[in-house]
């Protein structure tokens, strides 16, 4: 089953061996995924978005904190 992961500011896609083979065989074309994966992929994407938005907010707050002269 395909999975989407957000880690260290990067987005990763994990594929099964069969999916990798299909991607290789039909390079550049969309591949069919099992519709049963939809719920899991939706949860993965939701987690990635949440983690990314937390990261963006943290960077913004840190930047504002430094602008106030608190970086020493």
pLDDT tens-digit profile of 40-57?
999 999 999 999 999 999
* The pLDDT value given to residue 44: 96
pTM (2 d.p.)? 0.72
End-to-end CA distance of the chain: 47
Residue 71 confidence (pLDDT) above 80: no
Give domain status of residue 20, yes or no: yes
As a whole number, mean pLDDT of residues 25-47 equals 92
Quote the domain boundaries for residue 12: 3-67
pLDDT at 17 over 80: yes
Is 72 within a domain? Answer: no
CA angle 34, 7, 53 (to 5 degrees): 95
Residue 23 lies in a domain: yes
Check whether 36 has a pLDDT greater than 70. Answer: yes
Total count of domains within the chain: 1
């Amino acid at each position: 089953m395909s999975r989407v992961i957000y880690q260290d500011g990067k987005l990763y896609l994990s594929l099964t061996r069969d999916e990798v083979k299909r991607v290789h065989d039909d390079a550049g074309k969309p591949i069919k995924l099992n519709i049963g994966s939809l719920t899991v992929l939706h949860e993965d994407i939701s987690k990635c978005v949440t983690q990314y938005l937390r990261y963006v907010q943290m960077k913004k707050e840190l930047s504002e904190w430094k602008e106030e002269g608190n970086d020493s």
